[in-house]
Amino acid sequence: MENRNNVSEFILLGLTQNQNIAKFCFGLFLVIYTTTVLGNMLIIVTINSSPHLKSAMYFFLNWLAIIDICYSSVIAPKLIADFLVERKTISFNGCITQLFFAHLFGCAEIFVLTVMAYDRCIAICKPLHYTTIMCKSVCSWMVVASWVGGFLHSLLQTLPTLSLPFCGPNVIDHYFCDVHPLLKLACTDTYITGLIVIANGGMISLSCFLVLSVSYTVILVTLRSLSSEGRLKALSTCASHITVVILFFGPLIFMYLRPSTTFSEDKSVAVFYTILTPMLNPLIYTLRNEEVKNAMRKLWKKKILCDRK
């Protein structure tokens, strides 16, 4: 405890040390974060306002949008503010808090994406039993399990890191507090803690990715027996989900399924799953989903009519 308290704050190096580039990044990432919040809020409002979007798929999409807002809000505002200052600091408690909630929302998103793949698999492979299998209570329990799983994962990432002594240096070569950069600063052997990080974070990402791969393999096999129209509709729905999965899981597996070391590419790779994916999710799901686009048009027309009255 005495050694750890020698470090009361950490200095973040951020994405860039060049002030001219930082000013450009400030505007860029502010636009990205604003788009993320507004886009996901639009999906939440559309799904909850439309009586036609009440299936399990949209129930999970609603929760994915909520998680994306929370996940992005843990990291993006601090990153954006840091572009305007030369000395980027975060308190010890603030760093641990950011670490906890980043892994909580990140892992919850992993589980929700996995559940969404299972939902699509049931919808395509067992269409006659879909409403019975994916009833409201089952979907609710799946979401609860995703949050509980994210909470337990986050505890297993945060508590071992919190128990380490930090006696200096206190410079984190990253733009937010994550496990690998913090392990690098610990004043003790972090081999066991690193194994816990890999076993927990890496294996969750890899195992869920394997479940997703199996689900979509089953879907592709099943599509062979469908009509051309049914095949195109199923592929259109699944293509959106597969795109999100690749963008989110690829960088995650690179970051967490490896020894506790840091690479120069880490910050660039982390931008994909912490900043870009939460913004792309609403774009991907709305641009390829006619039901959501139609519901948004009806919502917009309804708003115009109410304004005229």
Domain ranges across the chain: 4-308
Report whether pLDDT(83) > 90. Answer: yes
pLDDT digits (tens, 9 = 90+) for 110-151: 999 899 888 888 888 888 888 899 999 999 999 999 999 999
Q: What's the pLDDT score for residue 208?
A: 86
Q: What is the CATH number of domain 4-308?
A: 1.20.1070.10
The closest of 129, 65, 126 to 292, measured between CA atoms, is 65
pLDDT score at 309: 60
Is residue 263 pLDDT above 90, yes or no? no
Sheet architecture: strand order including 171-172: 88-91, 9-12, 171-172
- The H or E element containing residue 261 is none
Percent of the chain scoring above 90 in pLDDT? 36
DSSP-derived pairing of the beta strands 9-12 and 171-172: parallel
Q: Is 281 helix (H, G, I), strand (E, B) or coil?
A: helix
* Better pLDDT: 255 or 112: 112
Does residue 32 register a pLDDT over 90?
A: yes
pLDDT at 3 over 50: no
Other beta carbons less than 10 A from residue 225's beta carbon: 9
Q: For residue 91, what are the β-bridge partners? A: 9
What is the structure's pLDDT at 21?
92
The predicted model scores a pTM of 0.89
d(CA 44, CA 169): 43
Q: Find, among 205, 196, 185, the residue nearest to 114 by Cα.
A: 205
Long-range CB contacts (within 8 A, 24+) of 50-58: 50/295, 50/298, 50/299, 52/291, 52/294, 52/295, 53/291, 53/292, 53/295, 55/134, 56/119, 56/123, 56/130, 56/134, 56/139, 57/116, 57/119, 57/120, 57/123, 57/237, 58/292
Task: Output the CA torsion sign for 274, 276, 115, 38.
Answer: positive
- 143-187 pLDDT, tens digit per residue, is 999 999 999 999 999 998 888 888 878 899 899 999 888 988 888
Query: What sign does the dihedral 216-209-238-119 (CA atoms) show?
Result: positive
Among 55-64, 163-172, 210-219, name the most confident range.
55-64
Cβ-based neighbour number of residue 45 at 10 Å: 15
3-class SS of residue 269: helix
Number of Cβ within 10 Å of residue 206's Cβ equals 15
